[in-house]
């Protein structure tokens, strides 16, 4: 039995993992899909006081409160910042770290660091214009969603706390790299804000070579859009089960 902790990305909530939680649980695993402060069903807590450290604490407190060890930590999109922090600070608790089309920063970078200047300016302007310093969700069509899936996500998305956007994350690459890692590259269509990251995780020099060292890292392509837990839940579930069963370094 594995302990899965599934962490959603920006504008989403624990709700987005519904189609993955059920099959993982049916396979006999413990599954937790927390919602970060200020979004989803916790949108009533949205405020300008929420920071990157707030969200890191959200995830860390799940591991602490549930007394979890040998965790398969699955982080989507923005939550790659959170997964990196948890691997740095609580790496002994992790069995595997799965970045699902997620941010993989360099030390000292923020979520915004790898994004185009136009995207940064637009999001920061929106945050500054809002009462709670937040910025609104994009049309889910950019995630490759259509039809009822698009409408479902569009109804549920909520504004994201803006002070998480430019906050730098300092971490020790060797500690993070000690945790076995999988990067799930969602390719159809590829989301533009992940372009820099998908090149990084294929670069043997990334993190001064540490990315491919330590516990080992692999890249797996998934021919779906940025929200595979919604558009390809079966395929994503199989990848997560595979990650849970791996303990050796990837080559």
Tens of pLDDT, residue by residue, the chain (251 residues): 899 999 999 999 999 999 999 999 999 999 999 999 999 999 999 999 999 999 999 999 999 999 999 999 999 999 999 999 999 999 999 999 999 999 999 999 999 999 999 999 999 999 999 999 999 999 999 999 999 999 999 999 999 999 999 999 999 999 999 999 999 999 999 999 999 999 999 999 999 999 999 999 999 999 999 999 999 999 999 999 999 986 433 33
Annotation says 77 is catalytic: yes
Model pTM?
A: 0.96
Q: What are phi and psi of 62, to 5 degrees?
A: -65, -45
H-only helix segments in the chain: 18-26, 52-65, 80-90, 117-129, 147-156, 173-177, 195-200, 228-231, 233-244
d(CA 248, CA 35) in angstroms, rounded, equals 31
Number of C-beta neighbours around residue 224 at 10 A: 23
Class of domain 3-244: alpha beta
Q: Are 73 and 91 in contact (CB under 8 A)?
A: no
d(CA 134, CA 123) in angstroms, rounded, equals 8
**Number of helices (H) and strands (E), helices first, in the chain?**
9, 8
Domain extents for the chain? 3-244
Catalytic hit among 77, 110, 112, 231: 77
């Amino acid at each position: 039995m594995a302990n899965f902790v599934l962490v959603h990305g920006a504008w989403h909530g624990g709700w987005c993992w519904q189609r993955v939680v059920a099959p993982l649980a049916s396979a006999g695993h413990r599954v937790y899909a927390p919602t970060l402060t200020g979004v989803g069903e916790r949108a009533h807590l949205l405020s300008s006081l929420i920071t990157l450290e707030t969200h890191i604490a959200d995830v860390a407190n799940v591991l602490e409160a549930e007394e979890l060890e040998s965790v398969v930590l699955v982080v989507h999109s923005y939550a790659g910042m959170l997964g990196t922090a948890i691997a740095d600070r609580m790496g002994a608790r992790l069995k595997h770290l799965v970045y699902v089309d997620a941010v993989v920063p360099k030390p000292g970078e923020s979520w915004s660091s790898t994004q185009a200047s136009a995207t940064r300016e637009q999001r920061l302007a929106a945050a500054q214009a809002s009462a709670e310093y937040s910025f609104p969700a994009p049309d889910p069509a950019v995630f490759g969603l259509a039809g009822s899936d698009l409408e479902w996500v569009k109804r549920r998305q909520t504004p994201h706390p803006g002070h998480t956007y430019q906050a730098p994350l300092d971490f020790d690459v060797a500690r993070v790299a000690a945790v076995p890692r999988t990067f799930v590259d969602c390719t159809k269509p590829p989301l533009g804000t992940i372009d820099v990251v998908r090149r990084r995780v294929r670069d043997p020099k990334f993190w001064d070579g540490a990315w491919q060292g330590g516990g080992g890292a692999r890249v797996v392509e998934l021919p779906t859009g940025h929200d595979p837990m919604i558009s390809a839940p079966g395929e994503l579930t199989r990848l997560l089960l595979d990650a849970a069963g791996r303990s050796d370094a990837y080559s």
